[in-house]
Amino acid sequence: DAGVTQSPTHLIKTRGQQVTLRCSPKSGHDTVSWYQQALGQGPQFIFQYYEEEERQRGNFPDRFSGHQFPNYSSELNVNALLLGDSALYLCASSSDSYGYTFGSGTRLTVV
């Protein structure tokens, strides 16, 4: 059983560009959350999607947006990239409030 799959694994973008990260949840999971993990820090909650709607959002600017598709997969979009957006972006899927499974992440470098 595949767990959470994220793509791409690594990405390099230039300041001001836009990026889209993708996540396929674990089989049986209908909820997808996104986290940003800066170097040397714990993950920070960006937002969660359930039933194709953003259910909860963390303290991130509107440059961060997302989408969930009918098959429960999800995308994270970041516009107008800043150097400070360089981080590991983690996707987590769940079917309840306490059974989160994390993917291996996408390492985004903004230059």
Partner 1 sequence: AQSVTQLDSQVPVFEEAPVELRCNYSSSVSVYLFWYVQYPNQGLQLLLKYLSGSTLVESINGFEAEFNKSQTSFHLRKPSVHISDTAEYFCAVSRLNDYKLSFGAGTTVTVRA
Footprint on this chain of partner 1 (rule: CB under 8 A): 4, 31, 33, 35, 40-45, 48, 50, 55-56, 58, 90, 92, 97-98, 100-105
Phi, psi of 59 (to 5 degrees): -85, 70
Strand, helix or coil at 14? coil
Nearer to partner 1, 27 or 41 (CB): 41
Overall size of the chain counted in residues = 111
| Single-letter amino acid code for the residue at 81 | L
| Single-letter amino acid code for the residue at 83 | L
Shortest gap between Cβ of 15 and partner 1 (angstroms)?
Answer: 25
| Whether the Cβ atoms of residue 91 and residue 7 lie closer than 8 Å to each other | no
Shortest gap between Cβ of 87 and partner 1 (angstroms)?
Answer: 13
Shortest gap between Cβ of 73 and partner 1 (angstroms)?
Answer: 17
Nearer to partner 1, 14 or 42 (CB): 42
